[in-house]
Amino acid sequence: MSLLVTGTIGLDDLHTPGGEAAEVLGGSAVHFAFAAAFFTRVRFVGVVGDDFPARFRETLKSINVDLTGLECRKGSKTFRWSGRYASEVADAQTLRVDLNVLAEAAPRVPPAFRDTPFVFVAATHPEIQVDFVRQCTGPKLIVADTRDLWIRTERKGLCRALGLVHGAILNDAEARLLTEESNLVLAGRRILSYGPRFVVIKKGESGALLVTSEWVFALPAYPTTQVRDPTGAGDSFAGGMMGYLAERGTWDERELRRALARGMITASFTIEDFGSHRMLRLTREEIERRLADYAAMMRFD
């Protein structure tokens, strides 16, 4: 089944212990789409300026992404972000951010996309998330991401957005900030009270936790030794997870657990090179081989 995503698309300048890269194709929706496209057709909604390189549009088209919802605004400039990582596991330090076109009106969902059964709303302003969700007609699954900025400044709007989705994805610091619970299981269950049916809490190199009202499931991160650029790992995780669910056409307990594993594996590839460089060389066969190694690594009986 098709998968609809909205979020940022931009140009990144990156500084990591593994090196530096300029004018890299980035943004939450881009990293998500690269991962999800290994599993299903991705419908993309986003906005760029007329300075957006044509080669990047062709790159996205080449990976099973429908760009009908990508709006290019004349006279506007594309979102740009520059960041530095002090270490392979450190959070990014923002050196510069130019919102540019993101400070303008949000893009609309094309009529042909509104009946998409699986929907992911990346970490943007909660009111934009609410508006986007309300444009969708009868989806089977909607999952939303967020970030600490919106928890601190738009808590009421964020809670309203969470009341409209089936699933939420946050990192551990965001879950604790939102709920004021130090225990992540309790934090996940508190988030469920806002409306979602399940919550995924990302823990970086420590893996992720999946919480529902009835059960809890945890997975470690894949132990890769190649970390060049952590940017987009969380979005790639969400893309692998949602792409698999869309491919399967359902999100019952068994498939949610399996989807979490696919998210871990796609994220483990993303960090091996700058931006989308590793994902462009990646194959579905490589994903399946690493997934098999991952499953064997955790088998103890």
Render pLDDT for 214-243 as a digit per residue (tens, 0 to 9).
Answer: 999 999 999 988 899 999 999 999 999 999
pLDDT at residue 283 is higher than 80: yes
- Based on its alpha-carbon atoms, the radius of gyration of the chain, rounded to whole angstroms, reads 18
Percentage of residues of the chain with pLDDT beyond 70:
99
What is the pLDDT, as a whole number, of residue 279? 96
End-to-end Cα distance, the chain: 35
Pair 197, 212: CB distance under 8 Å: yes
Q: What is the mean pLDDT of residues 87-107?
A: 88
pLDDT confidence bin for 146, thresholds 50/70/90: very high
CA distances from 166 to 82, 118, 157, 222, 226 (A): 33, 11, 17, 26, 34
Tell me if residue 286 falls in helix, strand or coil.
Answer: helix
What pLDDT score does 153 carry?
94
Q: What is the pLDDT of residue 100?
A: 96
Say what the pLDDT of residue 242 is. 98
Nearest to 263 by CA among 43, 61, 38, 89: 38
**pLDDT (0 to 100) of residue 64:** 87
How many residues in total does the chain contain? 301
Mean pLDDT computed over every residue of the chain: 95
- Domain 3-297, what architecture? 3-Layer(aba) Sandwich (3.40)
Give the pLDDT score at 92. 85
What is the C-alpha to C-alpha distance for residues 145 and 87, in angstroms, rounded to an integer? Answer: 25
- Confidence grade of residue 257 (pLDDT, cut at 50, 70, 90): very high
The reported pTM is: 0.95
Task: Look at residue 196 and tell me whether its pLDDT is greater than 90.
Answer: yes
What is the CA angle 148-18-293, rounded to 5? 80
**pLDDT at res. 192:** 98
Asked whether the predicted pLDDT for residue 258 surpasses 80, the reply is yes
Rounded CA gap, 229 and 275, in Å? Answer: 7
Predicted confidence at residue 22, as pLDDT, reads 94
Cβ-contact 32, 238 below 8 angstroms? yes
Measure the CA–CA gap between 56 and 63, rounded to whole angstroms: 11
